[in-house]
Structure 1
Amino acid sequence: MRKAVLAGGVLGTTILMAATALVLRRRPVGNKSVPEPAKPVDVKRYMGRWYEQFRYEAWFEKDLDAVTADYGLNDDGTVTVVNRGRKGGPGGRIKQSIGNAKIEDTATNAKLKVAFVRPFYGDYWVLDHGDEYQWSIVGEPSGRYLWILTRETNPNPDLLEQLKNRAQEMGYDLSSLRNTQH
């Protein structure tokens, strides 16, 4: 009995230390007033491959380039998420994470919860997107994370400038924006 209590205490302490480490390495807030999503999302049109153009650097994407996100709609209405990137530049070693998302706001389909390690879900908000789903700006309510995605690997520089301006209009600080190399 004493060993079980001791093991439970060690496990609890380990979990507390891990949670503290995660909180301490949270990045600064880049937008103190994240807006609600600008328009509804057609989930079927959102599916497929997206190329990350810009992001706020996060510990789980540290030093990754050539980042893609592939979304696939499952029969039960959830979404399979496959994120890939290359460590150390576009020719570097591939790093991949596979997760699952569920739609939280079925009125707009713009707010999802994504888990790469269950049962821990994070917010994923499609804040704005092109009418033809050629680009997307993704964030979450804390304002610590931001991703600017396109359907093309290397889109027109004018479009990229417009997307940065749109993110800034939504209240995002562009000084922390990292350009993803492809």
Structure 2
Amino acid sequence: MHPPKALLLACVLAVAGTACHAGNLPPIKPVAHVDLPRFMGRWYVIACIPTRFEKHAYNAVETYTLQTDGTIDTRFHFRDGAFDKPLKTIRSTGFVTAGSSNAVWGVQVLWPLKAQYVVAWLNDDYSQTIVARDARDYTWIMARTPTIPQADYDALIARVQTLGYSMRDIRKVPQAWLESGN
């Protein structure tokens, strides 16, 4: 099966954008260490500067599964445009960058391209995180729960801004869950 041309083009542009969008900003500093087994599992996307595919995502969830070879199976589930739209899934593979204490990955949707993934902030109990990129083109604020207190949200948005991101493109992701799931 061949990938859609739009997906291939978006991946090429994302990788190319890494070199030109960051300007004079220093690289994103990753957290000191990520305990990969503890980081695995379900993360609700609370807010993001979205990729082209998630601009209208509802109930966005990223799920990580550590594989025996050390790679990370990644599944991004969302509904495009409304809570009642069909569920969409984007699969990718994460490759931990050697020497990064598990805090920097290359994420591959299409071979051979890998997009940068930096765990830029992670709270001690692994319930909230910020994923960033040196290009400052995309970022994700994620939590283990579909909603977080407003004070936490405000603090996380402030952290994203201190990383050098423009706040004009931040989107709070609508999350509404029933007991039965998505």
Please identify runs of 4+ aligned residues in structure 1 that moved more than 3 A.
18-32
Please say if residues 31 and 144 of structure 1, whose CA atoms lie closer than 8 Å, have aligned partners that are also in contact.
no
8 Å Cα contact 1:72/1:79 also seen in 2: yes
Kept in 1, the 8 Å contact 2:77–2:88? The answer is yes
TM-score, normalised by the number of residues in structure 2: 0.81
1:148 equivalent in alignment to 2:148: no
1:142 is aligned with what amino acid? A
Match of 1:10 in 2: none
Match of 1:84 among 77, 83, 87: 77
Match of 2:180 in 1: none
Identity %: 24
Equivalent pairs counted in the alignment come to 166
- Write the letter of the residue equivalent to 1:87: D
Paired residue secondary structure (1:168): helix
Equivalent pair of 2:43/2:143 in contact (CA under 8 Å): yes
Task: Tell me what 1:135 maps to.
Answer: 128
Q: What is the match of residue 106 of structure 1? A: 99
Among candidates 47, 52, 55, match of residue 59 of structure 1: 52
The SS at the match of 2:109 is: strand
State the shift of 1:35 in Å.
2.3
- Specify which of 12, 16, 23 is matched with residue 13 of structure 2: 23
Matching residue within 16, 36, 42 for 1:49: 42
Kindly state the Cα deviation for residue 167 of structure 1 after the two structures are TM-superposed: 1.1
Q: Is the 8 A contact 1:66 1:181 kept in 2?
A: yes
CA RMSD of aligned residues (A): 2.6
Q: Residues 40 and 88 from structure 1, CA distance in 2 versus in 1: closer, same or farther, beyond 3 angstroms?
A: same
- Which residue identity lines up with residue 119 of structure 2 in the other structure? V
Check the 8 A contact 1:30/1:172 in 2, yes or no.
no
- Structure 1 residue matching 2:120: 3-state secondary structure: strand
Name the SS for the 1:166 alignment partner.
Answer: helix
The alpha carbon displacement at 1:171 in A equals: 1.9
User: Gaps (5+ residues) in structure 1?
Assistant: 1-14
2:11, 2:110 within 8 Å by CA — same for their partners in 1? Answer: no
Paired residue type of 1:162? A
Aligned to 1:68: 61
| Cα distance in structure 2, aligned partners of 1:122 and 1:42 | 21
Identify which of 23, 32, 43 aligns with 1:39: 32
* Match among 171, 175, 178 for residue 178 of structure 1: 171
What's the CA shift for 1:100? 0.9
Q: Deviations over 1:87-112 (max 9, x none)?
A: 11222221101111110133421100
